[in-house]
Amino acid sequence: MIGSLLIANRGEIARRIIRTARRLGVWTVAVYSEADAAAPHVREADEAVLIGAAMARDSYLKAGAILAAAAATGAQAIHPGYGFLSENAGFAQAVIDAGLVWVGPPPEAITAMGLKDAAKRLMAKAGVPTTPGYLGDDQSPDRLAAEAEAIGWPVLIKAVAGGGGKGMRKVEAAADFAAALASCKREAAASFGDDRVLLEKYVTRPRHLEVQVFADKHGNAVHLFERDCSLQRRHQKVIEEAPAPGMDAAARAAVCEAAVKAARAVAYEGAGTIEFIADASDGLRADRIWFMEMNTRLQVEHPVTEAVTGQDLVEWQLRVASGEPLPLTQDQIVLNGHAIEARLYAEDPAKGFLPSTGPLTHFRMPAKVRVDSAVEEGGAVTPYYDPMIAKLIAFAPDRTGAARRLADAARAVEVFPVKTNAAFLARCLDHPDFVAGAVDTGFIEARREALVPAGGAPAAALKAAARAWPTAGGPSPWGALVGFRLNAPAGFEVRLEDAEGAHVVRVDPAAPALQVPTARIGDRVIAFAAGEAFAFTAPEAGHGAGEGEGDDAVLSPMPGKVVAVHAAKGEAVKKGQPLVTLEAMKMEHALAAPMDGVLAELTVKAGDQISEGVLIARLEPAA
């Protein structure tokens, strides 16, 4: 077994690898950027090395700095985690050339599967069914537009070097193709240094399936069954589960056998995931499931496979990298129960899922489920990395029980002042269609209004905040004398204020306790209800609604880089029309006009780096 391991990553995956390594007696070395100096993975490793500034390109993407850290600490092996350099064949080869053990597949396999167009050609040759589309070398806009027209609308544009939903656009009609192609290429170049794309036929009711495969240095290759990753938003996975709902024995055998065939075709070693797209318009059928791509690394969603197979996949990785054979043969791997994982993001669903940054003054994760967290209370969410702050994983004997347990866990999340998608996750898991297994990649968008409802604080949150307010039965009797009279009904009134306005709440001290936790933070009381945080102040505290810029202003919701400006000063614009595209947290975010009007003020240009809260544009009503 490897004696010492450098983890070339951060956050929850670094912590996850450290846990298994410690159990196996492997010494661990963490690397970190200046922004992560106080991060949990730095403290939990046996040793830690600073490798650069906050931006990933100045730290976690600096292969030389990582190799130097391995040399300085005497690490025997490097585990890349996922993201960053995990699928970089050049880095893998550099690790091997340095005399270190690479905990991953051979560089040749990474290269073979790293470009989606080449990988699809290879899979077709190996007899693995592939999605219809265009894989040509001619990347001119005219040729791509012509091929898209020939495929038929809608089509999917995908970066050939892509992953994680970046560099991917669905296009509904020819008129939208040029703009989508330009945006896709720009994002692909920024994320992967390669703006080439391929085209695929967009399946109208697609299911995203994937199979966990493992291979060793002795010619053995197995699968650990499938996962369903269909619940996505902007092609980013949100909820994943194993096994796939509605998968019968014949379809499972076909897709799992195809995955092992794909791994053998590239002489694979270690952990990998073969991703498939399924046309679910008539259920999951073996003849309507096609190879999409291979991820030559461990996946974010690997815990659901661990739960249903009872295996530690990081341990498997370390054993395979150490030269050992696979721990189990195919017939020894047993599928048991059901597991579902939800990705907890630092984002605000009410504001179009824009990422949320800032300090984690209050951070409580639920009990009774597995939590793989990237952060802790007292830490912060920065704008430099992916906004996923934790994964919640529930296991039960059946799918219904797993969904119920995970929904309860999402409702128990308490985070402030950073916004999260916990309540949104609970609504997804509770939705009757999800419970029935009627899932596809359009699930969230088709039910957006139900999953992100409008409205302010629920009555339970108001009552809980009022009961927790310092004057509610506290040392000052005067705070409870609103409308005082001798024959008043039992209880008293408390005046509170939040972003929606002022509220008067009657408190009955004799009423049963509410199942809504609260916390006092500064001059505010925070009520945590169903996965959301609601902040209240007294009216005189000065946090009233209407502070800051008005409805005619567009402010930067986070620090980031302006990558495109879509309108000019003096131009008439419509509500919802994109004005500026901001790149932050590894994604592009379109900032739209809040009203119909004329663009009276525009303060940014493409290439500008801006801070959170900066005025970007101001509108005036049209004359």
Listed in sequence order, the residues at least 6 apart from 589 whose beta carbon sits closer than 8 Å to its beta carbon are 352, 354, 355, 557, 560, 581, 582, 583
Mean pLDDT, residues 455-461 taken together: 89
Could you give the angle at the alpha carbon of 524 between the alpha carbons of 521 and 527, nearest 5°?
Answer: 85
Predicted confidence at residue 212, as pLDDT, reads 98
The confidence score (pLDDT) of residue 438 equals 94
User: First CA to last CA across the chain, in angstroms?
Assistant: 75
Please spell the DSSP secondary structure of 183-209, one letter per residue.
HHHHHHHHHHS---EEEEEPPSSEEEE
Contact 15, 44 (CB under 8 A): yes
Distance CA 339, CA 446 (A): 24
Residue 137 contacts by C-beta under 8 Å, 6 or more apart in sequence? Answer: none
Judge whether 16 counts as a catalytic residue: no
Residue 472 has pLDDT above 60, yes or no: no
Is 50 exceeded by the pLDDT of residue 417? yes
Q: Check pLDDT > 60 for residue 360.
A: yes
Mean pLDDT of the 202-209 span: 90
CA distance 182 to 194: 13
Q: Return the pLDDT at 482.
A: 45
Ordered domains of the chain (ranges, CATH): 4-103 (3.40.50.20), 132-201 (3.30.1490.20), 208-451 (3.30.470.20), 459-541 (no CATH), 553-620 (2.40.50.100)
Name the burial class of residue 605, with classes exposed (0-12), middle (13-18) and buried (19+) by CB atoms within 10 angstroms of its CB. Answer: exposed
User: pLDDT at position 473, please?
Assistant: 44
558 pLDDT more than 80: no
Give the per-residue pLDDT at 550. Answer: 57
Say whether pLDDT at 549 is over 60.
no
Spell out the SS3 assignment of 397-456: CCHHHHHHHHHHHHHCCEEECCCCCHHHHHHHHHCHHHHCCCCCCCHHHHCHHHHCCCCC
Of 15, 233, 252, 297, the active-site residue reads 297
Q: Which of 406, 403, 360 is nearest to 379 (CA)?
A: 360
Are 594 and 620 in contact by the 8 Å Cβ rule? The answer is no
Asked if residue 489 has pLDDT above 70, the reply is no
Average pLDDT over residues 555-567: 85
Q: What is the mean pLDDT of residues 82-88?
A: 94
Least confident residue range of 40-44, 454-458, 478-482, 569-573: 478-482
Contact (Cβ atoms closer than 8 angstroms) between residue 63 and residue 90: yes
**Model pLDDT, residue 109:** 94
Mean pLDDT of all residues in 588-608:
88
pLDDT at residue 410, rounded to an integer: 98
Q: What is the pLDDT of residue 454?
A: 86
Q: What is the mean pLDDT of residues 31-54?
A: 97
103-107, 324-328, 355-359: least confident range: 355-359
What's the per-residue H, E or C state across 167-186?
A: EEEEECCHHHHHHHHHHHHH
The runs of H, that is alpha helices, within 229-274 are 249-265
Give which of 474, 586, 535, 459 is closest to 164, Cα–Cα.
586
Mean pLDDT calculated for residue range 215-237: 95
Confidence of residue 132 (pLDDT cuts 50, 70, 90): confident
- Secondary structure (3-state) at 621: coil
Looking at residue 427, what is its pLDDT?
98
pLDDT at 487: 53
* pLDDT at position 490 over 70: no
- Please tell me the chain's helix, strand, coil percentages from 3-state DSSP, rounded to the nearest 5: 30, 30, 40
What percent of the chain is modeled with pLDDT above 70? 94
A 10 A CB-CB count for 172 gives: 12
Q: What angle (nearest 5°) sits at the alpha carbon of residue 576, between those of residues 575 and 578?
A: 120
> CA triplet 286, 289, 295: central angle to 5 degrees?
130
> For residue 586, what pLDDT is reported?
65
User: Average pLDDT of 538-547?
Assistant: 48
Which is higher by pLDDT, 526 or 490? 526
The Cα 448–Cα 310 span in angstroms is: 35
376-402 pLDDT tens trace: 999 999 989 999 999 999 999 999 999
Averaged over 531-560, what is the pLDDT? 70
Please give the pLDDT value at position 484.
47
Q: Per-residue pLDDT averaged across 583-610, rounded?
A: 85
pLDDT band at 545 (very low <50, low <70, confident <90, very high): very low
Contacts of residue 16, Cβ cutoff 8 Å, sequence gap at least 6: 314, 372
Q: What is the pLDDT of residue 493?
A: 86
**For range 37-55, the mean pLDDT:** 97
Res 562 pLDDT > 50: yes
This prediction has a pTM of 0.82
* Whole-Å CA distances, 179 to 169, 560, 571: 10, 22, 19
Lowest-pLDDT range of 148-152, 509-513, 595-599 = 509-513
| Residues 523, 539: Cα–Cα separation, whole Å | 11
- Give me the chain's average pLDDT, please: 90
Q: How confident is the model at residue 542 (pLDDT cuts 50, 70, 90)?
A: very low
CA 463 to chain centre: 33
Write the burial class of residue 116 (CB in 10 Å: 0-12 exposed, 13-18 middle, 19+ buried).
Answer: buried
In the prediction, which pLDDT does 120 show?
85
Instruction: Answer yes or no: is pLDDT of 467 > 70.
Output: yes
Tokens 């290439």, residue? Answer: 607
Would you state the structure tokens that stand for residue 622, as one six-digit string?
């049209």
Q: Quick one: what percent of the chain has pLDDT higher than 90?
A: 69
Average pLDDT over residues 176-194: 91
Tell me the C-alpha distance between 273 and 596, whole Å.
47
